[in-house]
Amino acid sequence: MTAGSQVTAHNDPVTPYDTRLATRIPGDLDRRLRLLAVLTRRPLTHVVADLLSKQLPTETELAIQLQQMGAGADAQH
């Protein structure tokens, strides 16, 4: 363990990837993602994170959408 590493209450090392996305990815998409990682010489997790980051709304945009949904529900009652 390095001097800069952290340990949780259960003595598990904390890694930069502390959240795991459990999903089923079709085989063709999996191969394309892995090939992109090889071609760009980057870890697969970085490739997936960058792609998701580009496609997903920001937290602010999602919060606004949730507020609008709440306001719409209030207006119906």
> Facing residues of 17 across strands?
none
The DSSP output letter for 19 is -
Would you place residue 6 in the very low, low, confident or very high pLDDT band (cuts 50, 70, 90)?
very low
Measured in degrees and rounded to the nearest 5, phi and psi for residue 7 equal -130, 135
Report d(CA 37, CA 16) in Å as an integer. 18
Question: Taking a C-beta distance cutoff of 8 angstroms, is the pair 57, 43 a contact?
Answer: no
Higher pLDDT, 2 or 42: 42
Nearest to 29 by CA among 48, 50, 53: 48
The model carries a pTM of 0.60
